[in-house]
Each structure stands twice: as C-alpha cells, then as structure tokens.
Structure 1
Amino acid sequence: MNILLISYGNYEYDGRLRELCKVFDHIGNLYVFSRGINTKIVNHRLYTGKNYFNFIIKCICYSKKIGKSFDLIVLDNRKSIIPGFIISKLINCKSIIYDCRELYISNEIKHFIGKLGCKIEKKCIKNAEIVIAANIHRAEIMKEIYNLKKQPLVFENYRSLEYSKIYSNNTKDKFNNYFNEGEIRIISTSGCDVERLNDVLVKNINKISVPCKLFLVGKNNPQHELNIKRIIKEKHLDNVYILGILNQDELKYLISNCHIGIVNYNQSDMNNKYCASGKIFEFLYEGIPVVTTTNITLKTVCDEYNIGAYDDQFYSAINEVIKNYAFYKRNVYNFTKENRIEDNNKNFIISLKEELKRRKNEL
C-alpha cells in the first residue's frame, strides 16, 4: 500500500506529526510532504518556505514527481486539506484519512478566513474514510456536532522530545548559568501568551513557598511580551526569564533540568476547553511533574495518574507539588513506564488496521 501523508506542520517541532509518520510507516510505503528544515529524511520532502499557496503547488508537484498511485492519502490538520483533495482527484484516490488535531467550531470563530477553514474542514470530515481525534473528549464532541455515523478514532498526543544528531555541549553551556542549587525551576512552553494565563502565572510567582525560577519559552506576541515585562518590572521580579523560541535540543535539555512543567490553556472556546496537549506528555517523559489549568482534559490526566496538580492561579498547585514532590515524581516515573509511546502507537496501528479492513469489507 502506497501512502501519502501531507502536513503543514514543521517536522522538527511537531511531535504529533513525527508520531503519525511512525504509525503510517507501519501501515504501508509512506511518502511525506511537510514543512521543515532537515531535507535528508528518506521519502520525505520538506517545504522550507512560508507561503501557503506555494506549499499547495509544491505538494502537488511532489506527488506527481513520485510517479506512484497512492492507495491512501493522510491529511494532517486543515491546511493539508486543499492539496490533499486536489491530489486525490488527480489520481482518483478515494481513501482519505483526516487527523483533526484541533477543534475549531465555526460559531466560535470571528474572522472570515477562520470560518472558511471550518467549512472546508467540515466537508473533509464528512468525506474522509476515517477521522482521527486527539482525545476521547474531542471524539465524542465531533461525532455529535458533525453528525457522524461512527465516532472518530482516538490517537492520544503521547510524545517525547529527542536530541538531534548534532547535539553538542554548547546546549549545556547556554543554560547552565541559569541553574543554582536549592532552587525549584519551573518552565512554561507557551511563552508570554496572556490568553493562556501566563500573566497570572508571573504575577503569582512570588507566592511560591521556596526559592524558584520561572522560564517562559516559546514564540511571543510582541504586545503580550510587553505585558509580561511590565508585570516583571512592577513586581520587581528577578526570577522570571523570557527565553523565546528554542530548538528541540535546547528545549529538551532545559526541561530535563527543571522540576515542574506548566501546562496552561484558557477555556474560552472548545479547542482550548478540551485541549489535547502534547506538552503535558513532553514534560512527563522528561521525568517532571506538571501544574495545569483546570481544563477537564488536563484535570483528568492529573487525577487519574497523580502526576501533578491544577489551579488557574497556579501558585497553590505549584506549592502542592513542591510539598509532595517525591510523591509526584514517583508517579511520573510509573506513568512513563506503564504508558510507553511505542505502545500507544502500536495500539493505534491495530485500531487503524481493523478500521481499514472493516471499511474495505463494506465496499
């Protein structure tokens, strides 16, 4: 079986995309077109530009250049839909799998392009042979709002960070000056995003019961960053560090040298309320407990496995984890041993093969 997987995600930074590639590589002969930097991956063409329309054209050209008839086209998120459906028409491929990693609802979107994207996605979901959701909550909601005959398959966002082949001691040298004995190091990978309550996190960092440092990592909206810097200045904070975007080597090393990971989302729309966070698993697989906002999907993981605490003001949950750190640390270790990423992938492969077989028998 020849499979084409299309994604607008960046392969180096997108953990879910990397795991999807591993899954479908077990299903058949996989060819991938995505964004990224490293162009040496076998049967994987990486688009290094930023123009979406060029992405569409390059993707179609790539499918023609391969010169194969694809039995299955896998579309990863909504920006893959247009090139995917064009290619499916050109080669008469009727088998499409759609990974709906987000949960954007049209009546919650204010701008025209977003609403148009929702309409395109709805049509794709209706016409796809198999639909994939990122957690059970989303799968149940999608079945209802899209009036689907069958609930989408669930592929949880289990993922971990990996060091690259060019990892060097320069990464260690970049961060070791930040580390001191006797302190608790806390990391949030949502940058300065105030919509994800990082302003609340910074405001309350001086309520932590022990000496601590807070690292804010990720792409920043300039206005949000100014707001965070204003809070830092007003509260005379010298333990908050805005680090911006890090590569995967840097991020993995920094997380592995922190004690608590912050996983924070707002609850203003369905996509955030029922978040399918891969970040929570990145923290867990680096061996550190988490503190999360009170979104039901995050609370469920914390309560089921006792790997962290939740609080929309953050500080009480952080103090709880610090107070009982050995307990939470041990539970994180148990979680990673009992919930291996490879097993998550294998179980999904079994479900996927069964569903493909069932669909084939229906024809």
Structure 2
Amino acid sequence: MNKVKVLIISYSSYEYDGRLRELVEISQFLGETYLVSKDRKKIFENHLINYSKSNGYFEFLRFSYQAAKKIPGLSLIIADNRKALIPGQIIKRLLTFKIMTICDSRELYIIKDVKHLVGKIGCIIERLLYKKYDLVVCANRERARIMKKLYSLPEEPLVYENIRELYYSSSLDMDSIKEKFDHFFSDNSIKVVSTAGYSLSRGGKKLIEEVGLLGGNFSLYILGGGKADEKKRYDALISDMNLSNVFDIGRLNSDELKYFIKNCDIGVVFYHNRDLNNRYCASGKVYEFLFEGLPIVCSSNAPLMSFCRKFQVGIAGESFSESLIQIVEKIDWYRENVQKASSRIDIKQNRKKLANEISSRMPCN
C-alpha cells in the first residue's frame, strides 16, 4: 500500500474545507499523497497550490495536468466534487489508463432543481462522467441509493459520512485568537452559533428572525459570511428588525473556527427541503459541534431528525426558537449526551474503513 501515489484534485481550499481535509487524511492511509487545491498558501510538503483571482477554470485544468505529469508512478486520482471531474479524466486519458480514478460527490443536484446555467452544466458533466470513474463516493446511504438510480451506476457509491473534528494547527496563535474573539463571550447570554454563513434563502433568515425575537438572553453568531448581495440582505434584515443580539463574524480559518465554536453553547444546523441535495443533507457541521461539546438545534430534514433521535444530542424541528428554549431547559442533560455520543464516534476508524475499501479495489491488489 505504501507504494501507492495519490493525487487529490480540488477546486476548493484545504484551509477552509473540512471534507477536503478528510480526503487527505484518508489518502495518507493509502500512500504518498499530493494535493492540488485553490489555497493561498502551501500547508504540507506535497501541497500544490493554484490560487489567483485571475486564474480561471482552464488554468486549473492545465495546472492539474502539469502537476500529475511530475508525479512518477501516479496510480490513483481522487477528484473532489464536480469541478475536479474533468481534470481527473483528462489526466487518465493523456497519461495512462492504468491510473485508478475515484470521485467524491459532495452535492446531489439535478438539472430541474438548479436555476443558473453553470449549475445545469455541472449536472450534465456529472451525468456524463460519474460512470467514467472507477469508484464514486458520497456522504450518506440515502444519497448512495438515489445516485445509483439517477446516474445508472453499476453499483451504489461507497459511503463516507462527514464525521470530522476540528483541530488546532501547528501554527496556532492562541493569544491572538483570544484577543480577537473573547469580547463576544463576556456576557451571560446563551451563545448560539451557525457556521452556514448568511444562507438567508436556505433557512438563515428564519433563524435570525426567531433568535432576534428571543431578545438579549440569546446571542446568535453567524460564521462563514457569503456573497455581497446576501450581505446587503443580511444588513437590511438586521436594520429593519433593529437587532442587537445577532453578530456577523465572517469567514474563519480552522483554528479560529474551533476556538469560537468551543466557546458557544448551542450549534445550529439547517437546510431547506426544496431539492434533493438539501432534503438528504449530509452535514459535517453536526459532528464539528458535537466534538466541541455543543448540543444542536436542527431543521426538520430526515437525516438530521434521525441523528437527533439516535444520539439524543439535540432537537430537529420547525421552530428554531422553540427548540432553543427546550434545549436550554435541559442543557446539562443534552451536554452529557453529547459527551457520550462523541466518545462513541471513531473518526480514525471511519477514515480507515473507506481507505480499506479503496485499497481492496485497486488493480495492484
């Protein structure tokens, strides 16, 4: 297994993307790992960064191919989400068909659910290319069943759940982080955190309105930011409601994210039910909250409701405010359940399981 050389191709950022970091961890079980990603700085030895505001998708294709050419004995490519599907197949066809290819499917969008042209093109690319890959991976069993039928795959995709924990980096500057954020934690309010950015059309507006109306006993922190137009809508909503207990924290790196979540009381995870991708959500946020000791409040999507019932770590329902109040009334009980659940979840074993399944399918075995 150690002779395997793996190239992960991603149009995302290692620093800000939890599932991409998990793919790297899994790949390191398989062998020597290289990563092409859209980061601003190199994180580890074989990290090949392709970042520039002027760089378009065709430059990403070129960069990925050139990177692959420089890896002697490359035997496995992992394409991270739809934008990596084309470079993965180009490399296989131009270098050698002996390379095994795997794609990790983050989302589950179909053409009728997507409103913009670029998204529709992405759906067409997925339909054409998923069957070209040797293995497809997705984030839960519900998605695997749907994808097999939707894309006429020969078998159900392998499942890798978004079980992940935040870790501090080796370059952690705790004094700087405390100076930046500790003033948010100085009062006695119940501190509620969402890491979904503004997400106003997906449920964020409802969350802001409901927590805002709960008053000063609750503080809501919005992490993740968003696009300029959504920022304007967010600011208008805060102004119109004259809210003083909702805070826009912006996008945080992994060190800042871990510290901020750890100092809050309840995490919120929400999705709408208007398309397959959100209806069958596969959230890693619930695990990030659990491993930092936070009970969760969730929207009423089936996977989230099932998770809350199974582990008794939170409430999934239609009203964020009602769920928050119920959590606070029994918060010590929920915190105890969170500790029990997090101690039972083995992240390393989850990674090894997928790595072993991939290894068993490789031609060298």
Fold conserved between structures, TM > 0.5: yes
Residue 305 of structure 1 is matched in structure 2 by 311
Q: Is the 8 A contact 1:307 1:328 kept in 2?
A: yes
Residue 64 of structure 1 is matched in structure 2 by 69
Q: Does residue 131 in structure 1 map to residue 136 in structure 2?
A: yes
Number of residues of Structure 1 aligned to a counterpart in Structure 2? 358
Deviation at 1:16, TM superposition (A): 0.8
Deviation at 1:129, TM superposition (A): 1.0
Deviations 1:222-256 (A, max 9, x none): 33333333333333321111112122222111100
Over the aligned positions, Cα root-mean-square deviation in angstroms equals 1.9
User: In the aligned structure 2, how far is the partner of 1:223 from the partner of 1:43?
Assistant: 37
Structure 2 letter corresponding to 1:44: H
Residue 106 of structure 1 is matched in structure 2 by 111
Residue 144 of structure 1 is matched in structure 2 by 149
Q: Is the 8 A contact 1:35 1:46 kept in 2?
A: yes
SS of alignment partner, residue 70 of structure 2: helix
Q: Is the 8 A contact 1:71 1:93 kept in 2?
A: no
Q: Is the 8 A contact 2:11 2:84 kept in 1?
A: yes
Q: Does residue 167 in structure 1 map to residue 172 in structure 2?
A: yes
Deviation at 1:340, TM superposition (A): 2.1
SS of alignment partner, residue 9 of structure 1: coil
SS of alignment partner, residue 185 of structure 1: strand
Using the TM superposition, name which of 19-28 and 221-230 deviates more.
Answer: 221-230
Structure 2 letter corresponding to 1:195: S
- Cα 1:57–1:259, aligned 2, differ >3 Å: closer, same or farther? same
Q: Is the 8 A contact 1:162 1:249 kept in 2?
A: yes
Deviations 1:68-98 (A, max 9, x none): 2322211111111111111111112352111
User: In the aligned structure 1, how far is the partner of 2:74 from the partner of 2:364?
Assistant: 16
User: In the aligned structure 1, how far is the partner of 2:212 from the partner of 2:133?
Assistant: 50
Residue 115 of structure 1 is matched in structure 2 by 120
Residue 38 of structure 1 is matched in structure 2 by 41
Q: Does residue 291 in structure 1 map to residue 297 in structure 2?
A: yes
Using the TM superposition, name which of 244-253 and 216-225 deviates more.
Answer: 216-225
- Cα 1:104–1:201, aligned 2, differ >3 Å: closer, same or farther? same
SS of alignment partner, residue 315 of structure 2: strand
Structure 1: unaligned runs, 5 residues or longer: none
Q: Is the 8 A contact 2:39 2:50 kept in 1?
A: yes
Partner residue of 1:86 out of 83, 90, 107: 90
Structure 2 letter corresponding to 1:18: R
Residue 14 of structure 2 is matched in structure 1 by 11
User: In the aligned structure 2, how far is the partner of 1:198 from the partner of 1:281?
Assistant: 20
Q: How does 1:1-363 map to 2 (within 5 A)?
A: 1-50=4-53, 51-66=56-71, 68-94=72-98, 95-168=100-173, 169-208=175-214, 211-354=217-360, 356=361
User: In the aligned structure 2, how far is the partner of 1:322 from the partner of 1:208?
Assistant: 13
Structure 2 letter corresponding to 1:140: R
User: In the aligned structure 2, how far is the partner of 1:272 from the partner of 1:85?
Assistant: 28
User: In the aligned structure 2, how far is the partner of 1:319 from the partner of 1:79?
Assistant: 41
Structure 2: unaligned runs, 5 residues or longer: none
Structure 1 letter corresponding to 2:68: S
Deviation at 1:55, TM superposition (A): 1.3
SS of alignment partner, residue 52 of structure 2: coil
User: In the aligned structure 1, how far is the partner of 2:102 from the partner of 2:33?
Assistant: 14
Using the TM superposition, name which of 115-124 and 259-268 deviates more.
Answer: 115-124
Q: Is the 8 A contact 2:79 2:102 kept in 1?
A: yes
**Residue identity (%):** 37
User: In the aligned structure 1, how far is the partner of 2:40 from the partner of 2:229?
Assistant: 29
Q: Is the 8 A contact 1:186 1:214 kept in 2?
A: yes
Structure 2 letter corresponding to 1:35: K
Query: TM-score by structure 2 length?
Result: 0.92
User: In the aligned structure 1, how far is the partner of 2:310 from the partner of 2:215?
Assistant: 26
Q: Is the 8 A contact 2:144 2:157 kept in 1?
A: yes
SS of alignment partner, residue 11 of structure 2: strand
Structure 2 letter corresponding to 1:329: R
- Cα 1:166–1:28, aligned 2, differ >3 Å: closer, same or farther? closer
Structure 1 letter corresponding to 2:247: Y
SS of alignment partner, residue 37 of structure 1: coil
User: In the aligned structure 1, how far is the partner of 2:246 from the partner of 2:44?
Assistant: 38
Deviation at 1:274, TM superposition (A): 0.9
Deviation at 1:261, TM superposition (A): 0.7
